[in-house]
Amino acid sequence: MSGIINLKKEAGMTSHDAVFKLRKILKEKKIGHGGTLDPDVTGVLPIAVGKATRMIEFMQEEGKVYEGEITIGFSTTTEDASGEVVERTPVSGDLTEDLIDEAMASFVGPITQIPPMYSAVKVNGRKLYDYARSGEEVIRPKRQVTIHFFERTSELRVVGELVQFDFRVKCSKGTYVRTLSVDLGAKLGYASHMSRLVRTSASGMDLSDSVTLDDIKTKVATEDWSFLYPIEKAVGDLPQVEVTAEQAQDISHGRFIPLANQEQVTLAAFFEGKLLAILEKRQEEYKPRKVFKD
């Protein structure tokens, strides 16, 4: 069995939980996911099955789109709605939509983030959330991420001394959207947190086409494998090139090939509409990095 699944992860389970359950449903051990989702976050969780697991690193590279809600007025230990309140800053009437939009726009492009303490990032061999749960302080490593767009998608909602609004963001691998929400509040002079989040797109897959674990279980019981996409689905926005029969032969044997008018470092090579290999540029030629054979 091999292919790609556009799984709709539900709240209350980790990405690892979803993979574990799929292994039991599909009776297949070789399964992995293309981008972790926090337990409280729902939405698209790309799943690779069988030989498609070799594409996971490329599935993770593509930008991801999220929709959610930011609450300005208090922050939490986890930077989302599941944590305990850390600080309260009642919002004044001076906070306008224009100020929020201007602040959001300032995050577009390459930015530096410090991962939240309640995250799986490892420091000295231990995950940050282990330090957080034991009350230990540790220096967190900074990371560079890219925000492709970050925009408000609703009017401001005033709830007592709080202000809430919906947003949409496309960001690179490794971005913590809850940290982005906290940093936005700080830029505006307030404590804040991410109060809701759904991943609507990842690895070329959309939430509207996703299936739940229950959907998959039902389909497997009737031997309906329509939820399993071919490995080509994992290519996402990776640049593609169609190769000739002669080039395909060389690629299959691990040989370097010249490709005219190509500048991209990494390419997905197709032959007769099928994914043949992932190529990497080495000086003026391309070397097969991963070859997929039927």
Which residues are catalytically annotated? 38
Six-digit token pair at 167?
């947003």
Decide: 171 and 177 in contact? Cβ < 8 Å: yes
Q: Which residue type, as a one-letter code, is found at position 101?
A: D
Residue with tokens 């070397």: 287
- 33: which 2 tokens? 């996911």
Return d(Cα 14, Cα 18) in angstroms, integer.
7
Contact 276, 101 (CB under 8 A): no
| Sign of the dihedral through C-alpha 29, 207, 228, 57 | negative
DSSP letter assigned to residue 160: T
The SS3 assignment for 89 reads coil
150: which strand partners? 169
Partners of 205 in the β-ladder? 202
Closest to 11 measured CA to CA, from 48, 39, 45, 50: 39
How far is it, in rounded angstroms, from Cα 21 to Cα 19?
Answer: 5
Maximal CA-CA distance, the chain: 69
- How many whole angstroms separate alpha carbon 212 and alpha carbon 217? 9
Would you say 80 and 194 are in contact if contact means Cβ atoms under 8 Å apart?
yes
DSSP 232: G
